[in-house]
Amino acid sequence: MTKTQMDSRAFRTALGQFATGVTVITALDAAGNRVGMTANSFSSVSLDPMLVLWSIARTSKSYDVFMQAPHFAIHVLNAGQKALSSQFASTCDDRFQGIETRTGEGGIPLLTDYSALFQCATEARYDGGDHVIIIGRVLDFDSTTKPPLIFHAGRYADIELPVAV
């Protein structure tokens, strides 16, 4: 298949075969308002130093905020948080409505329920075509035993966890 024969919808479908976790990324805008969005582009980068990455579409409503935010948090959602994922992916004015939070590094809002949490200082930003790749230096993290929320082939998926004996 040549480049001209490839189409973006088929490419997106092929990428959807890679199951990912679902995250909510939070930060503060320049005026100190809480901002959050759902993303599934999270990945580890380095153990020493502790670095992670995620990417944001240049067309995202939150793009400008994350281009200036010195800190952000990545919340790996747990299997019971499909509604929360949808809320932070919506176009509603206050994505934090009804959500309990606490304050983290640099004043960023932290969700109180998650599978894992990474509080980060923005380390670097790189061009990634129609996205920008954001590298975060992990300042603090937490992990629970709650199974993660999984996204596969354009929808949420359930995973079978081994039964403890």
Q: What percentage of the chain has pLDDT greater than the value 90?
A: 79
pLDDT for 5 equals 59
Strands (DSSP E) contained in 1-153 are 20-21, 23-28, 34-39, 43-47, 50-57, 71-76, 101-103, 109-111, 116-128, 131-143, 150-152
Contact predicate 22/85, CB 8 Å: yes
Q: What confidence score (pLDDT) does residue 48 get?
A: 97
Global model pTM greater than 0.75: yes
20, pLDDT greater than 70? yes
Cis peptide before 148 (omega within 30 of 0): no
Whether residue 70 lies inside any domain: the answer is yes
In this model, does residue 162 exceed pLDDT 80?
Answer: no
13 in a structural domain: no
**Domain tally for the chain?**
1
Q: Are 70 and 104 in contact (CB under 8 A)?
A: no
Tell me how far the alpha carbon of residue 79 is from its chain's centroid: 15
Residue 80: inside a domain, yes or no? yes
Q: Kindly state whether residue 157 falls inside one of the protein's structural domains.
A: no
Q: Which two tokens stand for residue 8?
A: 């973006």
| Residue 165, domain member (yes or no) | no
Q: Domain range holding 115?
A: 21-149
- Average pLDDT over every residue of 48-62: 97
Average pLDDT of 7-36?
92
As separate numbers, helices (DSSP H) first and strands (DSSP E) second, the chain gives 3, 12
Q: Domain of 94: which CATH number? A: 2.30.110.10
107-118 average pLDDT score: 98
Please report whether residue 158 resides in a domain: no
In a domain, 154, yes or no: no
Q: Of 105, 95, 29, 121, give the one whose Cα is nearest residue 68.
A: 29
pLDDT at residue number 70: 98
pLDDT band at 66 (very low <50, low <70, confident <90, very high): very high
In a domain, residue 163? The reply is no
Going by C-beta distance under 8 Å and a sequence separation of 6 or more, which residues neighbour residue 127? 133
